[in-house]
Structure 1
């Protein structure tokens, strides 16, 4: 018999693979048919750099908070504790917020519009193929504590 703790979480694909795959597809399309986001200037590099720095800092804070709670970000491993402090006070998915900022930052630095055009489909795929499944798992795993957390903390920001 499988318990919630021992049942592996079935995601469409690991989130980093989805983000990287979408970004790479955007750059392949950009190589074939380049479309710029910004006119020639240094602004896109500055904005992209800021997003990369913020995304990296938010990701680090998220991973450190999960470690402090003794739980893992690896969806193949069971969640041992519901992290609700640190960046998890602002977003139920701070690592995905961080990955989105990193993704947009890279697209800005490269001044490539195609990766940005793919972010909508990517986020829909994340919503239906990852986040909804994770939320179902966490609701089964942590019950009322997760339902209450969900009612007070937004999914993204």
Structure 2
């Protein structure tokens, strides 16, 4: 099949990877709880809640931007245009960044350090299994324009 017509992913791996990471963090905390100082009171709750709110806003902003440009939101669909505005000015993967910020926020709110560990694993696996394929798809569709975008915009932050 022509690379220009090929879908970036055949399965929405990022959502599955982050979902599994959340489950592993919850189960690991029950089976192998890590000691966390509880003396900070409201601070982790406040920071964690703020991160979760930022993550939700970032994800909704990214989805709204993609919909307004009439291009694919799901990673299993072909992109019809290269979106470089909205949150895509700051990061090439705002939705995945939102997933990661949300996991860190939940880790702080729940005082569960396993969320930080599994968030790192989810970032690595998402980069390997999804982002690289998505970037190849965008490169095959938009060529030099995508290369220029990559030079000026970070993959994550």
TM-score, normalising length: structure 1: 0.92
Give the gaps of 5 or more residues in structure 1. none
Unaligned stretches of 5+ residues in structure 2 = none
Who is 1:25 aligned against? 24
2:59 is matched with 59
Question: 1 CA distance for matches of 2:101 and 2:10?
Answer: 22
Partner of 2:73: 73
* Superposed displacement of residue 8, structure 1: 2.3
Cα deviation per residue 1:2-27 (whole Å; 9 max; x = unaligned)? 33343222367521111111111011
Note if 1:139 corresponds to 2:145: no
Corresponding position of 1:42: 42
Q: Give yes or no for contact 1:90–1:153 (8 Å, CA) kept in 2.
A: yes
- 1:15-61 CA distance string (max 9 Å, x none): 11111111110110101122254424222211110001100011111
Cross-structure match for 1:94: 94
Normalised to the residue count of structure 2, the TM-score between the two structures is: 0.92
How many residues are paired up?
Answer: 156
Q: Is the 8 A contact 1:36 1:112 kept in 2?
A: no
Rounded to whole Å, the distance in 1 between the matches of 2:66 and 2:12 is 21
8 A contact 1:23–1:103 mirrored in 2: yes
Q: Which stretch shifts more, 142-151 or 32-41?
A: 32-41
Distance 1:38 1:57 in 2: 30
Is the counterpart of residue 84 in structure 1 residue 88 in structure 2? no
Contact 1:11 1:130 in 2 (8 A): no
Measure the CA separation in 2 of the matches of 1:84 and 1:72: 14
